Amino acid sequence: MRSGLIRGGEAQRGHEAGGGEGLWRRAGKRHGDLTRRPAPPAQRISASPPRTQRTADRPPRQRTWVSSRIKRRSRALFETVVLDPGAGGPITRRALLGGGAAWTLAAALEGAPAALARAAGGHFTVALDGVRFARDARGRLVSEPVRAPHAFSVVGLRWRVAPPGHAELHVRRRGGAWSEWAAAGGAHAPDGAAAPAGGEPVWVGRADELQVRVSDRAEGLVAACVTAAADGPVGAAAAALAFLPAFYAGQPAIVGREVWALGRCLPSVAPALGTVEFACVHHTETPNGYGAAQVPAALRAIFRYHRFFNGWHDIGYNFVVDRFGRIFEARAGGIDEPIVGAHAGGFNAASTGVALLGSYGPRGPSAAAQRALTRLLAWKLPLHGAPVTGRVQTVSDGGPYTRYGRGRRVMVHRVAGHRDVDSTSCPGAAAYRGLPRLRAAAAARAPAALSLALDGPPERVVFAAPQTVAGRLLDAAGAGVAAAEIAVEARIGLRTERLATATTGADGSWSAFIALKASALVRARFAGAGRRTGALSAYHAVSVLPAVTVSADRTIVPAGEAVVLSATTQPPARRMTIVVERVELDGTVTVVARVHLRARAGRASQAVTLAEPGSYVAVAEVPGSVSPGVTIQVPAAAVPA
């Protein structure tokens, strides 16, 4: 069905490319000039996530954090890369005008990333309740073109009650050609979250008009829009500085989060740690014609959509791979950590999420993206002791986005598609068909996974008290790996400190002494060597109790005289309590003095008068810890002869 819309001598297909404007021009003859109606007013939304989502994605009892490392703005951006064909063949003017992505039009026809939005990052909504819809030849509801009050770079659909069935949208610059239709449903979410009230964000480069196509009307339908600032091009040498240092053997080149976040995309809470039993492959369901210099802005816009529209604490994915074969660190917390994402509802705590930036339904990812994804999975899964082939049994946390109820045991591939665990078509038909080849390629590249065990320390230790930790490093056959250097590390907030190093013996065993001065998560790490991959142990949560001491200036005191009691604490406490108890011959204990003191540099003292003869014990207390006691004797007065 032709729309009759002509651009530069090229006709667009009304409902598959140019999409629906011809339908509304014809409908306008019956209902008036609907295409000229002003757009509904924009509605600002709060930057605070909804309470229900905030609870779902937040690790329990975590404080909001702002990393000084993330605050430092990276000035290393990306060089301008000429638009290449990628997996879709040569890009022609016909392909661009016949339904190419809006960002393709911006970058290729107008020639520069400078054509992208320059406004400061922001977000707004456009209500679609008052917009007219008409049915096309297939019975789908197609909206009239809607003009947004501001230019936007990301758009997604939100609804109040039920989703609008199958939903799509496309965009254009005012008076320009329409982009291809992009799917706008199938949201993922944090484990335990309520049903998502919106679809996935669609990156469009820059646009100010949109059109929606749905199978059913939805109450409270709105277009959620994000405006992102553009990055300027820089030289290739500067871009090379953006990659993170390689701390592990076989680690692929990964662009650090700071490069795209620029200190502005801060998570709302500290990241939660889970496990990595399998990898979940996604696509972002965004058009594929983007330029290399646009990717950082695209990630910032997706972050903003996830953070402020979905109410999550950070971008949902752990990694993003673009069509140029670059791997980006996405969710904050560390590329080698088992960070819990918000990408596969019900299975986030047991997986790592990797998103291909683009839409891969009819056509698969570019060869460069496939190679990068292969390198990433061949490193990430073995690092956590997981092979890249075969299946693993995992347990669903349930939720409205997965067909597996809470507590159900599910067998999934070690490299799975999003549709394997949730109710979605992600990562697209073509990308999903390519997963067997991806698994085989990753298996050919990946070294055999190692197993690194850590025994101890205890769950509670005293400040700076030496503790022994030990473990073993084993290969896939269960044999010990000898002469391997093991680092024992403590994760304190967002900071990781090395506590000790050890070398494995012939049987793979090792031991070391550590001393903790703050509560931490303790793990062992093998960085890999030669063809051996790195390995990480599970974390052990260790609480550090203050080290408290008490002393007396004398231990034998005449009745009625005072004894000076001195207390210390490490780390220094502002307040402490000295308690003096009298111990009777039958074992009865009576508190005779309780003195609350203000400490200076972790030290305090107090004179206590002991009036009655007997045996006394003095202790010092701070919250969570009590010192060993000091015994004081008050002898009875001698009876005159």
Could you tell me if 430 and 444 are in contact, meaning their C-beta atoms sit under 8 angstroms apart?
Answer: no
Say if residue 194's pLDDT is above 90.
no
Say if residue 85's pLDDT is above 50.
no
pLDDT of residue 180: 86
Q: Which of 183, 184, 180, 234 is nearest to 207 (CA)?
A: 180
**Helical H runs in 387-529?**
429-433, 435-445
What is the value of pTM for the model shown?
Answer: 0.74
Task: Enter the CATH code of domain 451-545.
Answer: 2.60.40.10
Instruction: Please state, in angstroms and rounded to a whole number, the distance separating the CA atoms of residues 303 and 550.
Output: 53
pLDDT of residue 527: 95
Q: Which of 418, 440, 399 is nearest to 279 (CA)?
A: 418
* pLDDT confidence band for 186 (50 / 70 / 90): low
* pLDDT confidence band for 115 (50 / 70 / 90): very low
DSSP labels for 213-263? EESS--TT-EEEEEE-PPPPP--HHHHHTTBPP--STTPPPEE-HHHHHTT
pLDDT of residue 191: 57
SS3 74: coil
The residue that leads in pLDDT, 287 or 260, is 260
Could you tell me if 1 and 137 are in contact, meaning their C-beta atoms sit under 8 angstroms apart?
Answer: yes
* pLDDT confidence band for 400 (50 / 70 / 90): confident
Q: Which of 310, 485, 338, 313 is nearest to 401 (CA)?
A: 310
The residue that leads in pLDDT, 473 or 117, is 473
Q: Which long-range contacts (CB under 8 A, 24 or more apart) does 108-116 make?
A: 108/83, 108/289, 112/80, 113/80, 113/230, 113/231, 113/232, 113/233, 113/291, 113/293, 113/294, 114/230, 114/232, 115/205, 115/206, 116/153, 116/205, 116/206, 116/228, 116/230, 116/294, 116/297
Tell me how far apart the terminal alpha carbons of the chain are, to the nearest angstrom: 126
Backbone φ and ψ of 592, nearest 5°: -105, -15
Mean pLDDT calculated for residue range 501-527: 96
pLDDT of residue 160: 78
pLDDT of residue 129: 85
Task: Give pLDDT tens digits for 610-620.
Answer: 999 999 999 99
Q: What is the DSSP letter of 440?
A: H
Q: Which long-range contacts (CB under 8 A, 24 or more apart) does 427-432 make?
A: 427/281, 427/282, 427/283, 427/356, 427/360, 428/283, 428/285, 428/359, 428/360, 428/361, 429/360, 429/361, 429/362, 430/360, 430/361, 430/362, 430/363, 430/364, 431/281, 431/283, 431/356, 431/360, 431/364, 431/365
Sign of CA dihedral 330, 331, 334, 337: negative
Q: Which of 323, 328, 304 is nearest to 314 (CA)?
A: 304
Task: Give pLDDT tens digits for 401-457.
Answer: 889 999 999 999 999 999 999 988 899 999 999 999 999 999 999 999 999 999 988
Residue with tokens 């009230």: 197
Say if residue 183's pLDDT is above 70.
yes
pLDDT above 90 as % of the chain: 60
- Architecture of 236-445 per CATH? 3-Layer(aba) Sandwich (3.40)
Backbone φ and ψ of 449, nearest 5°: -70, 140
Task: Give pLDDT tens digits for 41-83.
Answer: 444 433 333 333 333 454 433 333 333 333 333 322 222 222 2
Mean pLDDT calculated for residue range 621-637: 94
Degrees to nearest 5, angle at CA 418 with 413 and 419 = 90
pLDDT of residue 13: 31
**Token output for 285:** 């369901």
Amino acid at 273: L
The residue that leads in pLDDT, 108 or 210, is 210
pLDDT of residue 225: 92
Across all residues in the chain, what is the average pLDDT?
Answer: 80
Instruction: Please state, in angstroms and rounded to a whole number, the distance separating the CA atoms of residues 514 and 257.
Output: 31
Considering only CA atoms, give the Rg of the chain: 31
Instruction: Please state, in angstroms and rounded to a whole number, the distance separating the CA atoms of residues 203 and 302.
Output: 8
Say if residue 275's pLDDT is above 90.
yes
pLDDT of residue 216: 84
Instruction: For domain 547-634, give the CATH superfamily.
Output: Macroglobulin (MG2) domain (2.60.40.1930)
Could you tell me if 436 and 416 are in contact, meaning their C-beta atoms sit under 8 angstroms apart?
Answer: no
Say if residue 569's pLDDT is above 90.
yes
pLDDT of residue 21: 55
* pLDDT confidence band for 332 (50 / 70 / 90): very high
pLDDT of residue 25: 52
pLDDT of residue 175: 85
What ranges do the domains of the chain cover? Answer: 2-61+93-227, 236-445, 451-545, 547-634
Could you tell me if 256 and 37 are in contact, meaning their C-beta atoms sit under 8 angstroms apart?
Answer: no
Could you tell me if 213 and 138 are in contact, meaning their C-beta atoms sit under 8 angstroms apart?
Answer: no
* pLDDT confidence band for 20 (50 / 70 / 90): low
* pLDDT confidence band for 512 (50 / 70 / 90): very high
How many helices (DSSP H) and strands (DSSP E) are in the chain?
A: 11, 36
Task: Give yes or no on whether 451-545 and 547-634 have one common fold.
Answer: yes
Q: What is the DSSP letter of 2?
A: E
**Helical H runs in 395-495?**
429-433, 435-445
Q: Classify 99 in phi/psi space as left (phi over 0), alpha (psi -120 to 50) or beta.
A: left
* pLDDT confidence band for 12 (50 / 70 / 90): very low
Instruction: Please state, in angstroms and rounded to a whole number, the distance separating the CA atoms of residues 442 and 633.
Output: 73
pLDDT of residue 84: 29
212, exposed or middle or buried, with CB in 10 Å at 0-12, 13-18, 19+?
buried
- The count of C-alpha atoms lying within 13 angstroms of the C-alpha of 248, restricted to the half-sphere facing its C-beta, is 24
Say if residue 227's pLDDT is above 70.
yes
Instruction: Please state, in angstroms and rounded to a whole number, the distance separating the CA atoms of residues 258 and 244.
Output: 10
- Strand partners of residue 461: 544
Say if residue 282's pLDDT is above 50.
yes
